[in-house]
Amino acid sequence: MVFGFLVLVLIFVIVGVLGVKKGYTEYPERGNEMIKTVFVYLVLFATLMMIIGGSVAAFMAVADIVSPPAYYQSFEQYKNIPPEKLEPNLSESELKSRYDQMVTEEKERVKQRAVNSLIKSFGWIIIPLPVFLYFQRRVKNYPVQ
């Protein structure tokens, strides 16, 4: 995934450099303008990818909050934990109450992790958004000729 992204960015840079070179040989006065244009579009692309990635991660975090993944250890498996890890001579009801408490704590931990992930995902949306909007306005107000 990261390798594919790096290849894509490298292709964009190569195409941009070739475009600048061609533009510079045909219109020497437009060479700097072409570099600025390529830079603006690369910034727009990078910030848009950050916003999209943050949005996907935020959606996944909300899904984990709404419907957390199930807890997979059954009560029978919990009972079969070696005795040195549990207190000896616990009754069935005490074991069951400890198991229920452990399941509740695990569900709460998963939900807390999802909330933490949601907050981080909002950072991936909120931080690049002003940069994207600034450069988008710049492209709108000063179009490429």
Read off the pLDDT of residues 120-144 as tens digits, 9 standing for 90 and up. 999 999 999 999 999 999 888 877 6
> What pLDDT is stored for residue 139 in this prediction?
87
What is the pTM assigned to this prediction?
0.66
Distance of CA 10 to the CA centre of its chain: 22
> What pLDDT is stored for residue 117 in this prediction?
95
- How many Å apart are CA 83 and CA 72, to the nearest integer? 21
Residues of the chain with pLDDT under 50: none
> What pLDDT is stored for residue 112 in this prediction?
94
Are 75 and 99 in contact, with CB atoms under 8 Å apart? yes
